[in-house]
Chain A
Amino acid sequence: AQSVTQLGSHVSVSEGALVLLRCNYSSSVPPYLFWYVQYPNQGLQLLLKYTSAATLVKGINGFEAEFKKSETSFHLTKPSAHMSDAAEYFCAVTETSYDKVIFGPGTSLSVIP
């Protein structure tokens, strides 16, 4: 069965510092992996998606994530945090034979000026 874990329900970083949000997944077959972001009082929107084309995936707003099969990880990074990055971030996994997406519990990112 698929599952997603996100280490750290809340992460705080200083403005300009590196952002690292962790995601580990379990899947018995090659997965499709997503990062979604939810800004306050909004729905979720796609940040980036891994579809096996390349292990390093670049997304919107300067975010990127690296797929590491040996570690079953798909951590999200951004070199320099901006105040506007404060939001809830969700990692998600699915498979081509699966009819739904499994979301992680989310990580709330705070950016300190």
Chain B
Amino acid sequence: DVKVTQSSRYLVKRTGEKVFLECVQDMDHENMFWYRQDPGLGLRLIYFSYDVKMKEKGDIPEGYSVSREKKERFSLILESASTNQTSMYLCASTFRLSTDTQYFGPGTRLTVL
């Protein structure tokens, strides 16, 4: 059974803190994605990666960075958390193409106080 796991289900941080969200997939997928989900806005792409050490900006990369040192792991970093980054963060992976099925993790609900 395919699996995408995220390091935390719920996270509470303070403004200005550095925040790490980790995602691991066990399917040997090449592509990995970070989205944020907000009511009425659907899923918005923050960053994606199509190979180890490769990354591409999505639609809303400001205030975020990513790291992919190993194929199975994709980390999202909030360098200095702000209250407007309070959201649900979803990680996903696909085998190779955008037309492949995306497999999602359970999400991390981040609250920044």
Contact = CB atoms under 8 A, between A and B. Distances in A.
B110 to A, nearest CB: 15
A100 B104 contact: no
What range describes how many residues of A lie at the interface? 20 to 34
Contact of A103 (B4, B42, B48, B99): B42
B88 to A, nearest CB: 10
Nearest to A9: B40
Interface string A1-43: 0000000010000000000000000000000101010000111
A86 B77 CA distance: 33
B48 A94 contact: no
Contacts of A32: 98-99
Interface in A36-83: 36, 41-46, 49, 51
A103 B45 CA distance: 9
Contacts of B61: none
A43 B98 CA distance: 18
A43 B2 CA distance: 13
Given A90-B43, A99-B56, A100-B45, A44 B99 contact: no
Contact of B105 (A43, A94, A105): A43
B107 to A, nearest CB: 5
B104 A45 contact: yes
Given A96-B99, A98-B98, A99-B50, A41 B106 contact: yes
A112 interface: no
Q: Which of B50, B92, B99 has the most CB of A within 10 A?
A: B99
Interface of A: 9, 32, 34, 36, 41-46, 49, 51, 90, 94-96, 98-101, 103-106
26 contacts: A32-B98, A34-B101, A36-B102, A36-B104, A41-B106, A43-B90, A43-B104, A43-B105, A43-B106, A44-B90, A44-B92, A44-B102, A51-B99, A90-B43, A94-B98, A94-B99, A95-B98, A99-B48, A100-B33, A100-B45, A100-B58, A103-B42, A104-B42, A105-B41, A105-B42, A106-B42
